[in-house]
Amino acid sequence: MSTTTITVTINGEVFEETVPVRMLLVDFIRERAALTGTHIGCTYEGVCGACTVQIDGEAVKSCLMVAAQADGHEITTVEGLAQGGELSPLQRAFNEQHALQCGYCTPGILMNMDEFLRENPDPTDDEIRHGLVGNLCRCTGYAHIVDAVRQAAKETR
Amino acid sequence: MTGTSEGWVGSHFHRKEDHRLITGKGRFLADIARPAALHIVFKRSDHAHATIESVDVSAAKAMAGVVAVVTGDDIKDEILPMPQPVVQPALPATYPKHWPLAVGKVKWHGEPVAAVIARDPYVAADAAEAIEVDYDPLPYVGDAESALADGATIVHEDWPDNIIFQMDFTGGADEESQRAHEAKVQEVFDSADIVIKQRFTCHRCGVAPMETRGALFEWDESDGLTGWLTTQRPHIDRLALSDILEIPAEKIRIIAPRDQGGGFGVKAPFYREPMLIAYMAKKLGRPVRWIETRQEHLMAVSQERDQIHDLEVAAASDGKLLAIRDRGLADCGDGCEGVYWGFLMPFLGAVELPNAYDWPIGDIKVKVAITNKSALSPARAFGEFPTRFAMERAIDMVAKRCGMEPADVRRKNLVATLPHMSITNEYFDSGDFIKVWDNLMAEADLPGFRASQAEARAEGRYLGIGFGLGVELSGVASELFVPMENQPGYGAATVRLDPRGKVLVFEGDAPGGQGHETTVAQAVAHSFGIHPNDVVVTTGDTGTTPFGSGTVGARAGSYFVSAAVQACEFLKEKIARIMAHDLALAEASPADFSFADGFVTYQKDANIKKTFREAVERVIMAPINLPEGESGGLEHTAFFEAEKPMIAFNADVCTVEVDIETGQFKILSWTTSEDVGQIINPQIVEGQMQGAIVQGLSNTMFEEFVYDENGQQLTADFENYKLATAADVPDIKVTHAPTPCPYTPLGSRGIGEGRPSDVPGTLCNAICDALGPFGIEITDLPLRPDSLWRKIQAARGAS
Amino acid sequence: MYPAPIDEYVRPATVADALAALGRYDEGDAVFVAGGQSLMQAVKARLVRPRCLIDLQAVDGLSGIDVGADGVRIGPMTRYAEIARDERLTGACAALRDAAQRVGDRQVRNRGTIGGSLCWNYVAACMPPTAIGLGAELELTAADGGTRTLAAEDFIGGPLETAREENEILTAITIPAAKGSAGSAYKKWGLVTDALPVIGVCVALEAADGRCTSARVAVGGLANGPTRSGAAEEALVGVDAGDGDGIAAALAKAAGEIETQEDLWADSDYRKQLIRSLGAEVTATAFARAAG
């Protein structure tokens, strides 16, 4: 099996690993880095967004890349959101607004909305909903997620 | 975080589950690692109906990293076939024999034919691709009507026809009484002012949770079989596996992961795949792991609601409902699915067809047909999504014929006094439907809406308002559950007090996001007068939890929580008895002690008190000088069974605007009115309602499983099986008009399971109201802009 | 779903190196990966089984937007997100932003590229009809260093087909500057928000005193690939900005002459209706933008 050696920084920790060329980034994160907060919901289409991580600060779907494409880049996963044991305002808002039920889609949503709020610190509800299009949630009906993102925006501004 | 020891029930307590889930520390099935676990990948049928001529596994077996390849022929003498009693309803039906892998022929596109077990999942996928199956295609039976037609191809070859189940719900058991009853109903129709006769169809769609199914089994000669399984009913899975694999039940432990990515019904059946994985783990003596792909999921499961109803309603000209007649027909798929067999959903849908209306009489029958599709699998609003769509639409059609507001026809016909027995023998225990309805109408401002509707119409804009309502099961009582699924309905909870004053609760059901850990912690904290953070909840492990039939039918708020509260009350009495003894308070009874704010207090003299921890530690750690007949230790398992089957009730209103040029529409508002009894956690209740309604909307507007003329499933991915995004749905306003349930200790009702059921009717009623000038009636789902546009075009062309 | 085995991953730094890597493999065995948002779906479904992935992320000079007097030049590796937020893309080029802002979702826009979309040319895609509608010109560079420029409509063929030769790479997309006051717009419809287009319509027009002097109308979401409607373009000339009937009549011509198909989302007639309704809406927007 053809392999390649890559160096990837995940949540500040450097991983130098030899991986099969075809290994998907999401599998690298889950299996090699053992960071299982990043989830797989649609398996191959890149539609559900549960596998969303940030690469160099931008939210992307880690199932639509092979790990080799991340060589030399910095990745942040949901495990990297809380700093020094302190939840980010967005994470706290998700708890306070009951923005998650099963929690399977939640890491992807957090990683997308974390970047979204940096780009748009004062979003309207419609903008939040539009920003969430790449993350499917089957439990909440989205209303509480919108509430949580709005709360985090307000607290962060 | 508000609430005190007096007020944990009903308080806004932020969920205990969340911290791990928002920091990436949740433990879902795919996150559980066992050393050297092997990976299984299924080879699935490319055909809807075909004889298997040969399966060539040689290339797959030869691949480096492949441990085993298995076909139906390999296992048919090793595993007992389904059905087995524990997963077979006590209803008279024909139960198809099947094994985990197809034997002889395939009956739907996607049926498992073979499986590869390899050290690496990528290699397992390569090997599965290398298996060559030679098929000889057979005629495709593609829908319920053609399955029942004369000369139809028989799907299960040893059957006389394609009928798996049929039932008369209203006419009694024998032919003679049924004919007499039919005649009686006909008399009502013959003399009624108004008769509505309409066929309603509902498409195949379902729940599709974000986490697919999965399993991880390992075998150990001394401990036996341990399986981690995405499941709503681990205790039933354990018994079923014991039967199929002929392993003594005490040698099987099933663990539903603490975190499950949604279930909504689809993780409740006993499916084929875990049977094979368990068998292979035992045979190989190595852990075997399966994570279902989304494509597999959408091919094999999450398909429900595929029903046709020929519905007739007789009414008086003043809107009074007089009689109902329905002939239901469901497309069950191949029916090979433990517990449900594809027909329990249409069965319950028929039971719930009358809804909350006070029907004097009815004639309701249902037939369920086998076809070459995957078996219907349960989906929240179990069976009743199609029947409620039909009913709520029919009510609006009656209103139109009477020249009345649909809202007025509903209120006029609501069951006004409870308890009530429906014409299909569904018992409505308690509540106040009129109060819930009037609360909704206060929110709706119908006169105000009619004024703005008229204004908009003058400008060429089409606004509409729609109503719907629903009675939902609040748990499933044994008196329904035993005949229906051969399982007990009671809720079970073990409450174990820790010497340090903490409380451990054990639940045999297996939640998937409903917030059981928080809800029961609040109820237990309320009971003991401690903080919910001092309550730790374990769910879904058959090795440690009491027997429970599973997380189904809105059982948590009704049955499970009630069992936990009963167990708490039992333990409180014991603590109080011993405390009275210790304090030598001869005249004190357990009722004289209060549990609040972390203390156990003698209410007749508040100076006499112990901390909860002291009181508990005394009984557990120092069991000396006890009252006569008393022993130490504080643990109790309670099995809660309500005196009566219980229900919850809700009503909805929505407003829409339709663009008549394109058939596209926008939902402007959605408001609900709920009776969930005593609320335990308001945020969780609101979240359940919002989520359920959006699932209902997504089912109604976007989701549809489509099979082509050869039975090829065209929608096995999210690009084609479309789910609602955040930008597609409105905010949902949830309001309450509660009546506490008299049969549960807290007055709570179970919620959430049936909640999507009135959504399609409510939405379609609003659309039809908006399009009133065109006289359009929506009778088929899904509701899509293109079909609406065609209806509008036709109506405009005709006018 | 996992990709079939892949032998090699390369990340060239120059166009020449990228083309050289391609040349080492038989036709079809090596593929360029731009953003990979469509390609990787196909690779994971094993519909595409490359032996080599040539990742273009580090190739110098393929990314960025230059707005000059001659027009706009966009590097093919420019991501949708960059196009979506570039406020210089107004008037004649505004349709590009319309399209980019509604491709897929935030995550896809962060990674997907305009060049990748044009070279993949999926049946339901926004960039191909937009490029055709705007009269974009595509610069292709060959392994020998030679370049050629094709009009978007000559480059883009039926679904998944383009005029790119195996030894070529797309190196620039240019949209020539408009002569007078010009405006463009793009809009699509899909069953859910920002879904792949069932129909997408791009209209670009030039106007003098609020009257259309020339127009381009391109439609995507078609089984035969994106196409222009000559009849609609002709009919729009002379139509005034506020002339709803004139606009509707022009788009009716587009609906009349364009062949539409049936699929899960719409039948042929509804697709024609979408051409009419979306077309009228984007024409009105294009007029407004032309007026500044």
Token pair of B363, please? Answer: 């004639």
Domain membership of residue C2 (yes or no) is no
Q: What is the rounded radius of gyration, in angstroms, for the C-alpha atoms of chain A?
A: 16
With H, G, I as helix, E, B as strand and everything else as coil, classify residue B537.
strand
Mean pLDDT, chain B, whole residue set: 96
Instruction: State whether B664 and C189 contact (CB < 8 Å).
Output: yes
Contact B768, B398 (CB under 8 A): no
Residues C274 and C229 in one domain: yes
Phi and psi based region of residue B230 (left: phi greater than 0; alpha: psi -120 to 50; beta: remaining):
beta
Q: In what order do the strands lie in the sheet with A13-20?
A: A13-20, A3-10, A74-76, A52-55, A58-61
pLDDT of the residue at B461:
98
pLDDT of the residue at B3:
36
B271-274: which pairs have CB atoms within 8 A and are 24 or more residues apart? B271/B213, B271/B301, B271/B337, B271/B338, B272/B82, B272/B98, B272/B99, B272/B100, B272/B101, B272/B112, B272/B336, B273/B42, B273/B100, B273/B112, B273/B213, B273/B215, B274/B215, B274/B217, B274/B227, B274/B229, B274/B237, B274/B241
> Which residues, at least 6 apart from B753, have a Cβ–Cβ distance to it below 8 Å?
B265, B380, B381, B382, B472, B473, B552, B553, B554
Amino acid in the structure at residue B657: E
**Which of B73, B128, B138 has its CA nearest to residue B99?**
B73
Beta-carbon contacts below 8 Å between A and C: 92
**Which of B122, B82, B509 has its CA nearest to residue B334?**
B82
Q: Determine the average pLDDT of the residues in B268-295.
A: 98
How far, in Å, CA of B675 to CA of B754, rounded? 13
pLDDT of the residue at B731:
97
- How confident is residue B586, by pLDDT bands cut at 50, 70 and 90? confident
pLDDT of the residue at A1:
61
Measured between its terminal Cα atoms, the distance across chain B in Å is 60
Q: Is the pLDDT reported for residue B304 higher than 60?
A: yes
Residues shown for chain B: 799
Task: Write out chain A residues lying below 8 Å of C57, CB-based.
Answer: 69
Candidate from A43, A65, A112 with C-beta closest to C40:
A65
Q: C107 — contact with chain A (CB < 8 Å)?
A: yes
Could you give the C-alpha distances from B288 to B44, B120, B281, B449, B495, in angstroms and in order? 19, 11, 5, 59, 34
Q: In what order do the strands lie in the sheet with B599-602?
A: B593-596, B599-602, B609-611
Partner A, chain B 703-732, Cβ-Cβ below 8 Å: 717-719, 723, 725-727, 729, 731-732
**Segment (H or E) for B209:** none
Overall number of domains in chain C: 3
**Segment (H or E) for B654:** strand B647-658
Q: In what order do the strands lie in the sheet with B665-675?
A: B462-473, B647-658, B665-675, B733-736
Q: In what order do the strands lie in the sheet with C65-68?
A: C65-68, C71-74, C168-176, C137-142, C147-151
The angle formed by the CA atoms of residues C144, C150 and C151, to the nearest 5 degrees, is 165
Tell me, what DSSP letter sits at residue B14? P
C281 CA to centre of own chain: 19
How far, in Å, CA of B1 to CA of B232, rounded? 30
Q: Range with the lowest mean pLDDT among A38-47, A139-148, B325-334, C239-248?
A: A38-47
Beta bridge partners of A20: A3
With H, G, I as helix, E, B as strand and everything else as coil, classify residue B489.
coil
How far, in Å, CA of B79 to CA of B246, rounded? 8
Query: Would you list the domain boundaries of chain A?
Result: 3-80, 89-156
Instruction: State whether B210 and A38 contact (CB < 8 Å).
Output: no
**Segment (H or E) for B54:** strand B50-56
How far, in Å, CA of B89 to CA of B549, rounded? 13
Amino acid in the structure at residue B241: L
How far, in Å, CA of C67 to CA of C69, rounded? 7
Task: Write out chain B residues lying below 8 Å of A140, CB-based.
Answer: 687, 690-691, 694
Q: Is the pLDDT reported for residue B1 higher than 50?
A: no
With H, G, I as helix, E, B as strand and everything else as coil, classify residue C83.
helix
Q: B728 — contact with chain C (CB < 8 Å)?
A: yes
Chain A residue with the nearest C-alpha to that of B727: A129
How do residues A45-64 score in pLDDT, each as one tens digit?
Answer: 899 999 999 999 999 999 99
Residues C155 and C87 in one domain: yes
Residues C195 and C268 in one domain: yes
Minimum distance, in Å, between the CA of residue B715 and any CA atom of chain C: 9
Residues C149 and C209 in one domain: no
Q: Determine the average pLDDT of the residues in B191-201.
A: 98
- How confident is residue B740, by pLDDT bands cut at 50, 70 and 90? very high
Q: Determine the average pLDDT of the residues in B324-329.
A: 98
DSSP letter string over C107-166?
HHHHH-BHHHHHHH--SS-SHHHHHHHTT-EEEEEETTS-EEEEEHHHHB-STT-BS--T
Partner A, chain B 243-282, Cβ-Cβ below 8 Å: 259-262, 264
Contact B605, B623 (CB under 8 A): no
Q: Determine the average pLDDT of the residues in B134-157.
A: 97
Beta bridge partners of B522: none
Contact A105, A137 (CB under 8 A): yes
Mean pLDDT, chain C, whole residue set: 97
How far, in Å, CA of B715 to CA of C127, rounded? 25
B780 CA to centre of own chain: 23
Same fold, A3-80 and A89-156: no
Q: Is the pLDDT reported for residue B754 higher than 80?
A: yes
Task: Write out chain C residues lying below 8 Å of B661, CB-based.
Answer: 273, 277
Q: Determine the average pLDDT of the residues in B117-131.
A: 98
Query: What domain range includes position C84?
Result: 65-176
Q: A154 — contact with chain B (CB < 8 Å)?
A: no
Same fold, B36-138+213-291 and B307-412+420-478+644-798: no
pLDDT of the residue at C292:
82
Q: What is the CATH number of domain B307-412+420-478+644-798?
A: 3.30.365.10
Q: Is the pLDDT reported for residue B5 higher than 50?
A: no
Phi, psi of C267 (to 5 degrees): -85, 180
pLDDT of the residue at B6:
54
Q: Determine the average pLDDT of the residues in B592-620.
A: 96
**pLDDT > 70: percent of chain B:** 99
Partner B, chain A 102-141, Cβ-Cβ below 8 Å: 102-107, 110, 125-126, 128-130, 132-133, 135-141
Query: What's the CATH architecture for B490-640?
Result: 2-Layer Sandwich (3.30)
- How confident is residue B2, by pLDDT bands cut at 50, 70 and 90? very low
CATH of the domain at C46: 3.30.43.10
How do residues B28-48 score in pLDDT, each as one tens digit?
Answer: 999 999 999 999 999 999 999
Task: Write out chain B residues lying below 8 Å of A96, CB-based.
Answer: 14
**Which of B690, B687, B695, B30 has its CA nearest to residue B302?**
B695
Q: A126 — contact with chain C (CB < 8 Å)?
A: no
From the number of C-beta atoms within 10 Å of its C-beta (0-12, 13-18, 19+), residue C175 rates as buried
Amino acid in the structure at residue B508: G
Domain membership of residue C206 (yes or no) is yes
How far, in Å, CA of B722 to CA of B703, rounded? 5
* Cβ neighbours around C84 below 10 Å, total: 18
Instruction: State whether A135 and B726 contact (CB < 8 Å).
Output: yes
Query: The CATH number of B36-138+213-291 is which of 3.90.650.10, 3.40.50.2020, 3.90.1170.50, 3.40.50.300?
Result: 3.90.1170.50
Q: A153 — contact with chain C (CB < 8 Å)?
A: no
**Which of B186, B404, B193 has its CA nearest to residue B316?**
B193
How far, in Å, CA of B528 to CA of A152, rounded? 35
With H, G, I as helix, E, B as strand and everything else as coil, classify residue A25.
helix
How far, in Å, CA of B357 to CA of B424, rounded? 12
Q: Determine the average pLDDT of the residues in A8-32.
A: 98
Minimum distance, in Å, between the CA of residue C137 and any CA atom of chain B: 31
Domain membership of residue C33 (yes or no) is yes
Q: In what order do the strands lie in the sheet with B252-255?
A: B66-71, B112-118, B38-44, B288-291, B214-220, B224-229, B252-255
- How confident is residue B480, by pLDDT bands cut at 50, 70 and 90? confident
**Which of B515, B553, B569 has its CA nearest to residue B537?**
B515
Tell me, what DSSP letter sits at residue B227? E
Following CA atoms C129, C131, C135, C140 in sequence, which dihedral angle do they give, to the nearest 10 degrees? -130
Query: Would you list the domain boundaries of chain B?
Result: 36-138+213-291, 307-412+420-478+644-798, 490-640
Q: Is the pLDDT reported for residue B798 higher than 80?
A: no
Instruction: State whether C265 and B789 contact (CB < 8 Å).
Output: no
Domain membership of residue C3 (yes or no) is no
* Cβ neighbours around B798 below 10 Å, total: 8
Domain membership of residue C161 (yes or no) is yes
Q: What is the CATH number of domain A89-156?
A: 1.10.150.120
Q: Is the pLDDT reported for residue A153 higher than 70?
A: yes
Residue with tokens 């500044």: C292
Contact B239, B79 (CB under 8 A): no
Could you give the C-alpha distances from B237 to B91, B273, C105, in angstroms and in order? 20, 12, 40
Q: What is the CATH number of domain A3-80?
A: 3.10.20.30
Q: Is the pLDDT reported for residue A9 higher than 80?
A: yes
- Beta strands, E only, chain C: 8-10, 30-33, 52-55, 65-68, 71-74, 137-142, 147-151, 168-176, 181-189, 199-208, 211-220, 227-228
Q: What is the rounded radius of gyration, in angstroms, for the C-alpha atoms of chain C?
A: 19
How do residues B657-668 score in pLDDT, each as one tens digit?
Answer: 999 999 999 999
Q: In what order do the strands lie in the sheet with B163-168?
A: B163-168, B362-369, B321-331, B307-315, B194-202
How far, in Å, CA of C111 to CA of A134, rounded? 13
**Which of B671, B655, B688 has its CA nearest to residue B731?**
B671
CATH of the domain at C112: 3.30.465.10
Domain membership of residue C1 (yes or no) is no
Domain membership of residue C44 (yes or no) is yes
Q: Determine the average pLDDT of the residues in B283-287.
A: 98
The angle formed by the CA atoms of residues A107, B755 and B486, to the nearest 5 degrees, is 100
Chain C: list its partners (3+ Cβ pairs within 8 Å). Answer: A, B
